[in-house]
Amino acid sequence: MPRVLILATDGFEQSELTGPRDALNQAGIETVIASPKAGEIKGWQHTNWGDTVKVDKTLDQVEEEDFDGLLLPGGQMNPDVLRMEEKAIELIRDFIDAGKPVAAICHAPWLLAEADVVDGRTVTSWPSIRTDLLNAGADVVDEEVVVDGNLITSRKPDDIPAFSKAMIAAVNESATATAA
């Protein structure tokens, strides 16, 4: 069964974690949530705190080779905190270097800029971080979902269906290639 690692911490945009996670699970892909802290992390829903989700493993308990893809949910707080976690940035680089799918939505491409993996790549994001992505060398477009090699990006919660579909296809392709 293919496996996807989800990196998140308190302040993740609730729909951007649960929507893709549920779509991946329904497609027969196992998901594992990793965070800097054990226990539970609290989501953000629109303008207030949302639900909590269980953390399966801490960042120091996960490695790229154990997964077929990486999901980075957005929300303003979540990626801003995670980009200060060296292990999170290292994991992103490891997935990119391994050619495995990395899917980032909304504000999560901040993490891609921090990991220095967007130079020369075409991406999309929430409008407020597009300048950061341009400054990191990315070609930024305003599209529902953008697939550039193993990098998948989307702009906002409305894009979750297309984002999830692109990620499921990429993860299945990656898992098939790894098994061959």
Query: Looking at the annotation, which residues are catalytic?
Result: 106
* Phi-psi category of residue 149: left, alpha or beta, with phi > 0 → left and psi -120 to 50 → alpha: left
Query: What is the rounded CA–CA span in Å between residue 40 and residue 34?
Result: 10
Residues 54, 33: contact at Cβ < 8 Å?
A: yes
Residue positions counted in the chain: 180
- Please state, in angstroms and as integers, the Cα–Cα distance from residue 174 to each residue in 4, 27, 29, 114, following that order: 11, 14, 12, 24
- SS3 call for 115: coil
Amino acid at the residue 155:
R
Amino acid at the residue 74:
G
**Tokens read off for 150:** 């193993």
